[in-house]
Amino acid sequence: MARKKKGRPIHGWIAVDKPAGITAAAVVARVKRALDAEKAGHGGTLDPLATGILPLALGEATKTVAFIMDGAKTYEFDVTWGAATDTDDRDGTIIETSDARPDTAAIEAALPGFTGIIQQIPPDYSAIKVGGRRAYDMAREKTPLELAARSVHVHSFTFLEAANSDHARFRVECGKGTYIRALVRDLARVLGTVGHIATLRRTRCGAFSENRAISLENLEALGHKAADSEYLLPVGTVLDDIPALALTEEEARRMTLGQAIALWPVVKRSPLIGPNGPGLEQGTAVQAICGDKLIAVAEVGNGMVRPVRVLNH
């Protein structure tokens, strides 16, 4: 006999304004408990030190998490010059110091070297897997690490202000897999000093920004009512940037059964796309919609539309 699922079937996204001092997993657990949600997960983790936008997927929205992970993110953060830590943030142990302090001109001259597609070595205290183990576990055990450099995309790196010679504030817009701690570590080295993250806040994560977020405290105060509030956003919120194909009821039925459908009849009903329309080449991800209901995240290929993740909500 199958085990009965616990919790209510709630489907959609909630952008939580994460407080400092707790993990992303702890936020998920608290939200799941507050809403009595059957299923929940997060899109794009945040370190315990960090605050800001943590998108939470509820129910069938968990099937669309990959699309938020690939989205652009914006961070604002403070840097402390003159001290490097083993974690590259203020929670770590100081491992090196320097008396050198960069001036504004030097900082602004260095930032173009950290924009565009750059090579970045992740921090030792990161979730990167090395031989099947997390790097942060190996770092805690003092196991020597040699993490490989990875290509990341930094869209913009802006110097905002310097409160004094020891501290500076920045804003970064970046793509998937970028470590802000590593950016600060490497920038400090280029500037002839060392440094670490003092505060870190994510102000945007894909489709979610501060004006669509709710604090964890307020969400817990709402409890079950949060599922019926303006803060619960549709499952398809993270799919706005991919094409939508309108299905008939019969096509939708077949797709819910995991069957592929012919692309051409669907495209003919979508004059804004057309047979050779934007983004419909082989392997393109699309939304399969019937009426106002998202049926599946699908993929175009060989003249067919094949469901990748069917949504049951």
pLDDT at 279 over 70: no
The pLDDT of residue 124: 80
Check whether 271 has a pLDDT greater than 80.
Answer: no
pLDDT for residue 143 is more than 50: yes
CATH value at residue 66: 3.30.2350.10
Residues 54 and 107 in one domain: no
Same domain, 147 and 188: yes
Least confident of 132-141, 153-162, 240-249: 132-141
Q: Which domain holds residue 120?
A: 79-158+175-193
- 261 with 182, same domain: the answer is no
Higher-pLDDT residue of 113 and 280 is 113
**Tell me, what CATH number does 266's domain have?**
2.30.130.60
Do the domain assignments include residue 97?
A: yes
* pLDDT band with cut points at 50, 70 and 90 for residue 5: low
- Rounded mean pLDDT of the chain? 89
62 and 105 co-located in one domain:
no
Contact (Cβ atoms closer than 8 angstroms) between residue 232 and residue 31: no
pLDDT of amino acid 43 = 85
84 and 189 in a single domain? The answer is: yes
Other beta carbons within 10 angstroms of residue 154's beta carbon come to 19
Q: 109 and 150 share a domain?
A: yes
Q: Residues 63, 212: one domain? A: yes
167 part of a folded domain? no
Please check the confidence at residue 1 and state whether its pLDDT lies above 60: no
Domain membership of residue 291 (yes or no) is: yes
Contacts by residues 138-146 (CB-CB < 8 Å, ≥ 24 positions apart): 139/86
Residue 273 pLDDT: 56
pLDDT-based confidence at 90, cuts 50/70/90? very high
Residue 224 shares a structural domain with residue 272: no
Q: Residues 136, 137, 141, 146: is their CA dihedral positive or negative?
A: negative
Q: Residue 252's pLDDT is what?
A: 92
Which pLDDT score is estimated for 7? 86
37-84 confidence digits (pLDDT tens): 999 999 878 989 999 999 999 999 999 988 888 889 999 999 999 999
Mean pLDDT of 249-271: 87
Q: Are residues 29 and 51 in the same domain?
A: yes
Q: Contact, 87 vs 54, CB < 8 A?
A: no
Whether 29 is covered by a domain: the verdict is yes
Catalytic site residues? 47
Q: Which residue has the higher pLDDT, 97 or 277?
A: 97
Decide if 87 is inside a domain: yes
**Both 22 and 92 in a single domain?**
no
The answer on 223 and 154 residing in a single domain is no
What is the predicted pLDDT for the residue at 2? 52
102 and 180 fall within a common domain: yes
Average confidence (pLDDT) over 99-127? 93
For the chain, the domain total comes to: 3
Q: Is the pLDDT of residue 275 over 70?
A: no
Q: Which residue has the tokens 């804004």?
A: 272
165 occurs within a structural domain: no
